[in-house]
Each structure stands twice: as structure tokens, then as C-alpha cells.
A and B are shown apart, each in its own frame.
Chain A
């Protein structure tokens, strides 16, 4: 068991090193970091008719939307591109022969390659999260500086002690508001959910590449499955809800589809978090568990297919 784990880790580490040394993925990651960092500059575009507090709220929301959006988009591209070429590239380069001629099970090889992609995604999400945190921190400091300037301006004139106390209280409230909006612990939930969705996307791509003969086929098919995964929730609601005018076949098809293809739409709960609505940790853990179970099932099916594949 430990020897098997060692082999999986060895293959995973080599996969990560390969991905890191590949220019395409590095460029993609740098692009992601720039995108997240650039959100603070794009957010300064002023929406007319907003007061200072409204403007700050909008800028913070923009940075959060832009940062998490970039993380999801670049992460998706990295998950798809790196996983789709795992098996076809090994076959094309014939590197698979020298590895599988060693005491390595095919399942260990597959899990090792996937583990490498998960490590890569974890690295990318961590780096982009750090850039995201830096962007938010910058925005926070801007807000604090603005509130401080306002406070100085208001305190400049002659005030009664009650008025000064009220200005001081307002200043403290503004600072608390700014810090509370920026240092939102729910953002950790959002990042975890984005990561889980990326891992699940990678697992879908791995399943398809376990029988596909080309990377292009894997990329296109995974993208289609990803889209269906986003739409299946709507179809389920329409066709499986009470009173819906559907045939048995339509119901069966939607039922089967929702069993085979993971419901990607559930992860749009991230948008609720970014909108400032509270999502309980329990719900996040349920979704993480859902992603975990689906990933394990997808890996198990991939292993069975790959075990019998002619290489």
C-alpha cells in the first residue's frame, strides 16, 4: 500500500514538474495573475451617480467578481489543457512503455498523473488567491485612506464635543465596514468551491482521455460535458418537477443524465457569496463532498477503461 502510494506520488511529482516547465501553462498562469492584479485598476472606473460608500462597495464587488472569475476561467483552461494531454502525450511520446514496464499498475499510473494535475491546480489556485488577496488589500487601503481623508476634512472645522464624538464614531464604523467587506471569510468558501469544480473538470477530462486517441477530442468532449453539467439543473427542474408535461422517456433521460454528468450549476453558489449573501459552511461542505465523490467515481471508471486499453 505504501509502495503503491510512493509510485503514485513519484508520477504525480513528475507530472507537476513537467507542467511547471512547460511554457504554455506558465504563460497561462502569469496571465491569470495579471488578470487578478489588474482588477484593482479596472475597478476605478467610476459609475455615475454613486456616493463615496456606494462607489467603494461597487469597486470591492468588482475586484471580487473579477478575481474569482479569472481564477475560475484560467483554472478551467489549465485543468482542461493539462489533463487532456496526459494520456495521448504519453502514448505519442512512447514514455508510457518504459513506465508501465516497471512494477507500476496502470491504475497507479493514471492516479499519479491525475494527482500531478491536482497539485498543479492547487499551486495555480494558491498563487492566484495570493494575487487576489493582494488586490483586495490594496483596495482596502484605498478605502481606509479615503475614510481617513473624510474624517480629517470633517474634523477640520470647529465642533462641539458631541459632534466630534459623532464624527469619530462614523469614522470607526466606516473603517469596520471597509475591513468587514474586504476580509470576508466567505471568500475562502468561494475559493474552495472553485478548486473543487476545477478538480472535477480534470476528472472528467481524465475519464475521456482514458479512451480517447487525441487531445482535441478530449478537450471538445470535456467542454461539452461541462456545458451540459451547467444546463442539466435547469432541464431537471423543467422536466422532473411536479406537473411538468413530460414523457417517461424524457424523465428517464434527464434522470440518467443527472446521474452520469455532475451538476456543475450547483457551484454557481459562488456568485451568491460574491454578491455578499451568506452561504453556510454546511452547504459548502456538502458541495465539496459531492465533488469528492464524483471525482472518485470518475477516477474508478477511468481506471477500469485504461486497464483494458491497448497501448
Chain B
């Protein structure tokens, strides 16, 4: 199946692997049970709790946002899910497989935070390098490189060494290398950090397209508006703990109060009359009642702000 995507001014032809049939039967894309990471602080004889008993269940095809201040455990979660660090406690599975297994990694693409690649390679060489590591070779690799260079809009940078790339270009080549082997699951660590608004909105569009292609996307971001636009569900982290999780519709619905929405403008006199009417519990025909919605930013600040005074959670060694 072939689809046409529009990114910025670039039209890219991308072959899409159809995943619909596997969505219902395959295991969870990501599952963690009591996942914990503690780092020993030898000089303080204490343990730094980077992640504390995390339980996650992310379904295939879902776009999942990780939110939280710096040091809240987002990047540690991604490193654990990629098998880059070993958990102190708990378990993690990627499509039912251990995260550090080659089988799991064949199905995963990763864009690190502030991506650094070999600065001496150019764009083409970088994609070729990562493609070969993933077992993509020959004409298949050539074709894939062409597709991805167009997809991320790097036609003008493919022959330039990465040391001359701007931050936005590095982020784009990072996305391209994450997609080089057509993975089913993508981990994007701060994909829009340091990128200009245009580049940032292109990355947002790309995430939405990946979702349409049936890919699972797990990403962390500080740009709450963007998370609100693309994520199906979010988890908010604070001090190494997941403090809130759910779909945006559920989370952004306020728990107390009533919002009254009236379709027409009211004069002060009319407002007074409505107030009086409501006081007497008499409701007019055109008055609509709904629960007030918070913005994601409000929700984030409410959840995180009181707890961010302490820099990191530390416990004494048992």
C-alpha cells in the first residue's frame, strides 16, 4: 500500500506497512511492571531514585506523551525501554519481548534528546550507517534513504557533514535514522527541543502521519500544546513517579464546577436575569451546561508545580 504525504513543501512517497490486522492480536507495544531505577550516590551513601515503580501499558497504534520537568524520570524511562540501562527492580516488555533483545530493537526506532551523530559523516552516510546496522542493505537501503531524505526535507543537506547542520536539521536527520528500518514503535525524546516553530509543526505533522500508518509513538516533550494536539494519552511524571495518566479528554475535564455556554452575546441586564433565573433553578431554552475544560498547561502546572522545589528524590541506602 502506498500513500502520499505532504511535509512543508515536500511531497514524499512512503511505503506503508499495514498493521491493522495485528493491532488486536499482538501484545502491548510497551508494558512495564514496577519498573524502578536507582543510582547509587557513593559519596553521599545514598540512592538516587530516578524512576520509582512505573506501571505502563501502551497499546499498538497509540501516541503516548510523557510529560514532566527535567529530572522527573522521562529519559530514564526511555533508556530502560531501550535496554540501554538495566532496571534495579521490575520488568519491561516491548511487544512482549525483553527490551535489550535484538528482536525488540528491530521493531523500535529511537530519537535521542539533543541527537548527536558522527559529525564527520554527511546526511546520506549517516542514514547508510544506521541502515546497515539494522540489516537494511543494497537497493532497498538506497530507496529508503531517498524516501526519508524527502520525508524530512533534507535534500539540501544530504551531502553536507553533520557538523555543519543546524539544530533543526540534526533533529530531522535524527528522525530519519529512527525510521530507517521502518520500525513499529518509535521513542522520541524531546523531538521538538530547540527546533523553530515551523520545524516543530512539521515534526508534529510527522507524528500524526506515523499514527495514521499504524505506528506506536512514545514521546516526551515540554511543548504542552503540541502534546495536546497529537497524544492519545499522556502520563505526567514528577520526581521519578508517574503521578497522572489518562486520555486527554478525561484528564482535561475539570472535576468541580459548571461551565455555562451561551451561544449569543448577553447584555449586563440579560446576564443578571440569567443569574437570577439560575438562582431560582429556572433554565432558559438556549442555555447549555458543560463541565469546564482545563488546558493541558494548567493541568501540568497543577500536577507538577508544588513538588518541583526538591531537585531529586533520594533515599538512604537500605
Contacts and interface: CB of A to CB of B under 8 A. Distances in A.
Interface of A: 3, 6-7, 10-11, 14, 17-18, 21-22, 93-95, 97-105, 308, 310-311
B84 A95 contact: no
Interface in B90-126: 102, 105-106, 108-110, 112, 114-118, 120-121
Contacts of B129: 10, 14
Contacts of A10: 129, 132-133
A161 to B, nearest CB: 70
Given A105-B102, A311-B85, A98 B108 contact: no
A97 B133 contact: no
B239 interface: no
B300 interface: no
Contact of A98 (B39, B86, B112, B181): B112
A98 B130 contact: yes
B102 A95 contact: no
19 contacts: A6-B132, A11-B133, A17-B120, A17-B121, A18-B118, A22-B120, A94-B114, A95-B118, A97-B79, A98-B116, A98-B117, A100-B83, A101-B84, A101-B112, A102-B105, A103-B105, A103-B134, A104-B133, A310-B86
Nearest to A15: B118
B110 A6 contact: no
Contacts of B117: 95, 98
A interface secondary structure, majority:
helix
A10 to B, nearest CB: 4
Interface in B56-95: 79, 82-86
A-B residue pairs, 5 tightest by C-beta = A101-B110, A10-B132, A103-B105, A103-B102, A102-B133
Nearest to A10: B132
Nearest to A4: B102
Given A18-B120, A103-B105, 8 more contacts: A14-B121, A14-B129, A97-B84, A98-B117, A98-B174, A100-B82, A100-B84, A103-B133
Contacts of A97: 79, 82, 84, 110, 112
The listed residue with most B CB atoms (<10 A of its CB), out of A7, A93, A97, is A97
B177 interface: yes
Contacts of B105: 101-104
B311 interface: no
The listed residue with most B CB atoms (<10 A of its CB), out of A17, A94, A101, A311, is A101
